[in-house]
Amino acid sequence: MKRHTFLLILLIVKVNVLPAQVTARFDSLFNTLYKQGNFNGCVLVAVKGKPVYERALGYANFAKHQPLTNTTMFELASVSKQFTSMAIMQLHQAKKLRYNDSLTKYFPQLHYHGITISNLLHHTSGLQDFADLDKQLVNVKRINYNKDILSTLIKHNPPLLFKPGEHFNYSNTNYVLLALIIEKLSGTSFSSYMDKNIFRPLGMSNTKVYAQRAEKHQIKNYAYGFVYNPRNGGFIINDSLAANSDQYHFDGISGPYGISSTTEDMLKWDQALYTDKLVSKQEQDSAYAPSKLNDHTIAAMDGFTYGFGWLISPEDEHTGKTYFHTGGLIGYESIFIRYPEKNKTIIILTNTWNTVNILQLASAMENILFNQPFSLSQAISLIGQPLQKMVALSPAQLKAVDGTYSFTKIPNRTITLTSDCKQVYSQVSGQVKVELYPESEFDFFYTVVDAHIKFLKGSSGFVRKLTLYQNGEQLEAIKE
């Protein structure tokens, strides 16, 4: 009997330990990214619910040199949406709501007719993202909460982008309203509901709804969000950027984001989704079913279908089905990937912004995990380049790019450049002002987005137009 038990243990260990060459590939990948400054965060790879690769690289707080650990909590950003949708599924299973319920059933003061809970879950409501609304509609001098977004929608009734069910448009407003519905039906706060019905039952003791700036109690082992500062080649707290103003005055929002967790707790969440601890398997399957638009086509985002807070990748012969979601707030990037047919998991949580292409990183990790062809040098070139410093320009050189430029291919859209003695700022119409850094006299780059601008002189010798390079596109704008 003892001999059989010992053999069984050996077999279990063998299943859940990666071959040495696979672990070495993961080490090579992350050691290189960390050395370049592209990766600061925690990563966990699991097979059958057991961690087979786990690293914590860098700092939770650069200023205090506080190291990251595997129990450091990170803002999950949009990965939070899958928790919000689970709460909605629990209420549906308890017959407290129906997916085809009208939004106005819960908020009759709203003037948006025809929007259902299903539309909110699938981002087919037509509602504008609250972060894109005119800043005059939101009090930007204080921290706003979900109820403030609801009040703005009721008072100002911003128009829909399209009729409900007509198109797909990713909008955080949808999940704000879902969180409010959860509160309305449960009679408790969103935070309390999530803690009582999801986090505590799963033993996720390091997971909570958490507003970093609004909370009176600060979490000790918490990863503060940082952004790369080309001025000195270091990292600064995300609140230091003008571009981060939205994150301050929308810090109280929860539902679309606002949940903080660890890689180890996220693995507990992953494994619970193989069980009926939270909802039945039949109920959970609805989360992975893509929605159809009014014309019966499938709603999709960047080639992926969208379920209830989940992106669903086309099935692959090596990985099988893949369910995932990314998250991004200035200072944080995350991705959570499940391969349910293989019981494999990839979790990446970072607290630096725009230093790594997290989708490319996840793709490289997937290739390693599933023993597919992998070139470290090729992967690194796609995931992140060594971080560059800005060059020093005189105040007159910075001033030369000032002005408002009109995009030739986008009617009524402008980009305004302003400078002071040390810094140039860029503001696209309807968006927040962000920092722009020079790499030469007429070439500037962003850090809050992966984009850069090239300025061109006219025959007069003065800057007359610019070209914005972003997402593989080139957009020309003429100075007014």
Question: In the block, which residue shows the tokens 């062809």?
Answer: 373
d(CA 173, CA 132): 10
pLDDT at 12: 34
173, 129 contact by CB (below 8 A): yes
Q: Give the CATH class of 395-479.
A: mainly beta
d(CA 98, CA 411): 41
Contacts of 216 (CB under 8 A, 6+ apart): none
Strand, coil or helix: what is 66?
Answer: strand
Cα–Cα distances (Å) from 21 to 27, 31, 276, in that order, read: 10, 15, 36
**Region of residue 203 (left: phi > 0; alpha: psi -120 to 50; beta: else):** left
d(CA 119, CA 165): 7
d(CA 297, CA 286): 18
The residue ranges of DSSP E strands in 108-215, in sequence order, are: 208-209
What digits encode the pLDDT tens for the residues 297-314?
999 888 899 999 999 998
- Paired tokens of 110: 């709203």
Helices (H), 189-345: 190-194, 245-249, 263-272, 281-285
The residue ranges of DSSP E strands in 317-412, in sequence order, are: 320-329, 332-339, 344-350, 352-353, 403-407
Neighbours of 421 (CB within 10 A): 8
Strand, coil or helix: what is 148?
Answer: helix
pTM (predicted TM-score): 0.88
349, 69 contact by CB (below 8 A): no
167, 124 contact by CB (below 8 A): yes
pLDDT at 17: 53
d(CA 416, CA 404): 4
Helices (H), 260-351: 263-272, 281-285
Q: Smallest Cα–Cα separation from 180: which of 171, 191, 168?
A: 191
pLDDT at 4: 40
Q: Which sign does the torsion angle of CA 69, 72, 78, 82 carry?
A: positive
pLDDT at 137: 84
The torsion angles phi and psi of 418, rounded to 5 degrees, stand at -130, 155
**Region of residue 95 (left: phi > 0; alpha: psi -120 to 50; beta: else):** left
45, 54 contact by CB (below 8 A): yes
The CATH superfamily holding the domain 74-354 is DD-peptidase/beta-lactamase superfamily (3.40.710.10)
Domain ranges of the chain: 74-354, 395-479
pLDDT in tens, the chain (480 residues): 333 433 333 333 334 557 788 899 999 999 999 999 999 999 999 999 999 999 999 999 999 999 999 999 999 999 999 999 999 999 999 999 999 999 999 999 999 999 999 999 999 999 999 988 877 788 888 899 999 999 999 999 999 999 999 999 999 999 999 999 999 999 999 999 999 999 999 999 999 999 988 887 889 999 999 998 888 888 988 887 776 777 788 999 999 999 999 999 999 999 999 999 999 999 999 999 988 999 999 998 888 999 999 999 988 999 999 999 999 998 999 999 999 999 999 999 999 988 999 999 999 999 999 999 889 999 999 998 788 889 999 999 999 999 999 999 988 889 999 998 888 999 988 777 888 999 999 999 988 788 999 999 988 889 999 999 998 889 999 998
